[in-house]
Amino acid sequence: MDTTLLGRTVRDARKKQHLTQEQLAALCGVGTRFLRELEHGKETCHVGKVLQVARALGLEIRISQRGQP
């Protein structure tokens, strides 16, 4: 997964839940600028805040060794 795919996944999940960026940002305790940058795949987004947003949307982020299922 790269930051572009992560951002697209967050945006799609937000839209499926009928949330605006402003609503989701308030729900997660992050700024709308951060959320906008995350959805656009900015590579330097703060990981802790990314996890807050993912958690609020009910998304799960998994990490595994390359080549492992």
Q: pLDDT tens across 4-54, in order? A: 999 999 999 999 999 999 999 999 999 999 999 999 999 999 999 999 999
The sign of the torsion formed by the CA atoms of 61, 39, 10, 30 equals positive
Assess whether pLDDT exceeds 80 at residue 1.
no
Q: Whole-model pTM?
A: 0.87
Q: Say what the pLDDT of residue 64 is.
A: 82
How far the first Cα of the chain sits from its last, in Å, is 14
- What domains can be seen in the chain, in order of their start residue? 3-57 (1.10.260.40)
Residue 66 pLDDT greater than 90, yes or no: no
- State the pLDDT confidence band at 62, using cuts at 50, 70 and 90: confident
